[in-house]
């Protein structure tokens, strides 16, 4: 006898779920088990922020003047050294935070050298699809959670508050687009897609002192500043919940490591088990330094099956909270975010953005977020674009992996360096240090982040791009001719 699927329409519906019950939320179905997030867990997480980081921020900036500051540099200066002090007896909040971020993750959380390399190769090979998943699902969808939106509104992080689609100015769209680019830069730095192209392999860049680690700590401290600002907001007074709390941080981490895997499966490009587990391991490692509770990382991110269960069940509490559903004034910022990236690149229209978002998010969540349906003609064009984007991936899995590893390495260089150079050029020849910005910031701040043009790397990139593309097209055409000829010969024989 088939079990009846429980349709979840609000958070309290999950209270009736028992282990083994099939449930559905926003069109996705799973079986409730011990790895799913129960309502009492979500409520407890909401009261917990990142106390170590928050105390350090308050000690570093007692006057709350931090606009334009390089937060990590301020932290290093305050400790008196960019290296851990082993014999320090100081018990200041800054020193405790400094010591904590210099700890290595426990073995059950740490990513191994092999996992880092597998994850990096996997990310580069599927970078177009993963970056689209992050934009159209993780950011456009996940950042539209009512609970997260209210925090972002109070600090005006992505979308200026209380602004309608008609009122959105070009300046606000540009600011939103810049924030998205900075998020993508963070992802590239975590995956070590940087300029110059790294010659050495290994996980050292994600450990204390490494470039990837520095970016992670800067983002963590930026979250600490955001929490301080939100707590000072008049509308926040009296609330027991912490802004950017453990519920938010766990969900954000999952949106960076699990959502891309969901999207690849949906696009017919499912990764191998080794690739999926390695990708998750790197982000679990990142989560440790971002301030996610290690117990939660161990419980909900130990493997992809468990992480899938976590994210789907967490969606119930993030999007269908009973109190939030009663608020008729809430307007998801999804369309404003999609508008911000419209016409930034060739053929990226608002209709294309809506079609791509609806494809990845699914019709139910898309409708909830106010994303309109698109024409059938756009549906056809979208699938044509998706095939063109997927073909190099499929070609890499066969020709590149088994016949011409040199071609695959060339493609990885082109994609990794190309993405990094595109991001910094679009940011205005800048590599952001994730500074908190409020009002006007002096020119010296942006000069500190500026990067000079790298014409030599640009020429090498262009040359390798042409070589890679020519070889892929040449092999494809030759294979097509060979198959056609073989077919004609076979028909002639018959």
Q: What pLDDT, in 10s, does the model give residues 317-338?
A: 999 887 766 666 677 889 989 9
Confidence bin at 146 (pLDDT 50/70/90): confident
Confidence bin at 79 (pLDDT 50/70/90): confident
**Contact predicate 247/317, CB 8 Å:** yes
* Residue the block writes with tokens 């390798």: 464
CA distance 143 to 152: 9
Confidence bin at 89 (pLDDT 50/70/90): very low
In a domain, 333, yes or no: yes
Residue 464: both structure tokens together:
């390798």
Assess whether 352 and 489 both reside in one domain: no
In a domain, 46, yes or no: no
Assess whether 164 and 273 both reside in one domain: yes
67-76, 169-178, 305-314, 422-431: lowest mean pLDDT where?
169-178
SS3 22: strand
pLDDT computed for residue 84 by the predictor: 46
Confidence bin at 71 (pLDDT 50/70/90): very high
Assess whether 93 and 240 both reside in one domain: yes
pLDDT computed for residue 212 by the predictor: 96
pLDDT computed for residue 327 by the predictor: 66
Helices (H), 191-271: 211-231, 246-257, 259-266
Domains in the chain, number: 3
Mean pLDDT of the chain: 89
CA distance 308 to 36: 9
pLDDT computed for residue 171 by the predictor: 79
pLDDT at 85 over 50: no
Assess whether 263 and 406 both reside in one domain: yes
Confidence bin at 82 (pLDDT 50/70/90): very low
Residue 153: both structure tokens together:
């509104």
CA distance 251 to 307: 10
Assess whether 163 and 174 both reside in one domain: yes
78-92, 94-108, 360-374, 394-408: lowest mean pLDDT where?
78-92
106-112 long-range Cβ contacts below 8 angstroms, 24+ apart? 106/294, 106/298, 108/298, 108/302, 109/284, 109/285, 109/287, 109/288, 109/294, 109/297, 109/298, 110/285, 110/288, 111/203, 111/206, 111/278, 111/281, 111/282, 111/284, 111/285, 112/203, 112/281
Sheet holding 22-25, edge to edge: 6-7, 22-25, 28-31
Helices (H), 126-198: 127-133, 146-155, 170-190
CA distance 59 to 74: 11
pLDDT computed for residue 202 by the predictor: 83
Residues 393-408: what's their mean pLDDT? Answer: 94
Residue 484: both structure tokens together:
């056609």
pLDDT computed for residue 325 by the predictor: 67
Beta-ladder partners of 22: 31
In a domain, 303, yes or no: yes
Confidence bin at 279 (pLDDT 50/70/90): very high
pLDDT at 438 over 90: no
pLDDT computed for residue 466 by the predictor: 97
Helices (H), 362-454: 363-368, 376-395, 405-426, 443-449
Residue 385: both structure tokens together:
């674009």
pLDDT at 415 over 70: yes
What percent of the chain clears pLDDT 90, i.e. is strictly above it?
Answer: 69
Assess whether 469 and 413 both reside in one domain: no
SS3 29: strand
In a domain, 42, yes or no: no
CA distance 32 to 18: 7
Assess whether 332 and 465 both reside in one domain: no
**Contact predicate 241/103, CB 8 Å:** no
| pLDDT winner (highest mean) among 64-73, 93-102, 143-152 | 93-102
The domain in which residue 468 lies consists of 454-494
Assess whether 446 and 458 both reside in one domain: no
In angstroms, the first-to-last Cα distance of the chain is: 52
**Contact predicate 316/25, CB 8 Å:** yes
Closest CA relative to residue 331, chosen from 160, 136, 135, 155:
160
Assess whether 98 and 118 both reside in one domain: yes
Assess whether 120 and 254 both reside in one domain: yes
Assess whether 242 and 370 both reside in one domain: yes
In a domain, 227, yes or no: yes
Assess whether 283 and 372 both reside in one domain: yes
Dihedral angle computed from the Cα positions of residues 311, 244, 216 and 177, in that order, rounded to the nearest 10 degrees: 90
Q: What is the pLDDT of residues 453-468, one digit of tens each?
A: 999 999 999 999 999 9
Other Cβ atoms within 10 Å of 152 Cβ, number: 21
In a domain, 1, yes or no: no
Angle at 184 between CA 407 and CA 101, to 5 degrees: 105
Greater confidence (159 vs 299) lies with 299
């Amino acid at each position: 006898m088939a079990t009846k699927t429980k349709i979840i329409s609000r958070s309290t519906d999950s209270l009736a779920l028992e282990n083994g019950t099939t449930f559905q939320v926003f069109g996705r179905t799973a079986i409730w088990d011990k790895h799913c997030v129960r309502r009492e867990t979500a409520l407890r997480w909401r009261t917990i922020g990142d106390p170590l980081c928050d105390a350090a921020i308050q000690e570093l900036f007692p006057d709350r003047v931090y606009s334009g500051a390089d937060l990590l540099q301020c932290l290093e200066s305050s400790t008196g050294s960019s290296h851990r002090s082993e014999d320090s007896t100081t018990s200041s909040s800054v020193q405790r935070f400094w010591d904590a971020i210099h700890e290595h993750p426990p073995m059950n959380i740490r990513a191994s050298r092999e996992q880092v390399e597998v994850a990096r190769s996997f990310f580069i090979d599927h970078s177009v699809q993963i970056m689209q998943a992050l934009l159209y699902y993780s950011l456009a969808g996940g950042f539209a959670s009512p609970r997260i939106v209210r925090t972002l509104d109070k600090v005006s992080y992505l979308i200026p508050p209380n602004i309608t689609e008609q009122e959105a100015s070009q300046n606000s769209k540009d600011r939103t687009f810049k924030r998205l680019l900075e998020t993508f830069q963070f992802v590239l730095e975590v995956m070590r897609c940087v300029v110059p192209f790294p010659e050495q392999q290994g996980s050292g860049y994600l450990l204390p002192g490494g470039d990837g680690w520095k970016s992670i700590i800067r983002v963590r401290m930026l979250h600490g500043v955001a929490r301080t600002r939100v707590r000072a907001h008049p509308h926040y007074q009296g609330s027991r919940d912490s802004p950017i709390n453990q519920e938010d941080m766990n969900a954000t981490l999952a949106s960076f490591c699990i959502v891309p895997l969901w999207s690849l499966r949906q696009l017919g490009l499912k990764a191998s088990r080794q690739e999926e587990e390695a990708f998750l391991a790197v982000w679990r490692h990142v989560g440790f330094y971002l301030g996610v509770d290690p117990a939660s990382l161990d419980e909900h991110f130990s493997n992809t099956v468990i992480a899938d269960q976590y994210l789907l069940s967490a969606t119930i509490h993030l999007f269908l909270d009973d109190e939030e559903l009663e608020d008729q004034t809430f307007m998801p910022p999804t369309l404003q975010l999609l508008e911000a990236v419209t016409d930034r690149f060739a053929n990226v229209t608002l209709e294309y953005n809506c079609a791509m978002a609806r494809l990845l998010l699914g019709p139910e969540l898309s409708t909830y977020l106010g994303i309109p349906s698109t024409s059938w003609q756009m549906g056809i064009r979208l699938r044509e674009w998706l095939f063109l984007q997927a073909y190099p991936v499929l070609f890499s899995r066969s020709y590149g992996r088994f016949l011409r590893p040199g071609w695959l390495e060339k493609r990885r260089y082109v994609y990794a360096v190309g993405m990094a150079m595109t991001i910094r050029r679009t940011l205005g020849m800048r590599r952001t240090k994730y500074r908190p910005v409020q009002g006007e910031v002096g020119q010296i701040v942006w000069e500190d982040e500026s990067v000079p043009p790298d014409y030599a790397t640009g020429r090498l990139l262009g040359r390798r791009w042409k070589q890679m593309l020519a070889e892929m097209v040449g092999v494809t055409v030759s294979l097509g001719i060979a198959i056609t000829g073989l077919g004609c010969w076979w028909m002639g024989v018959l």
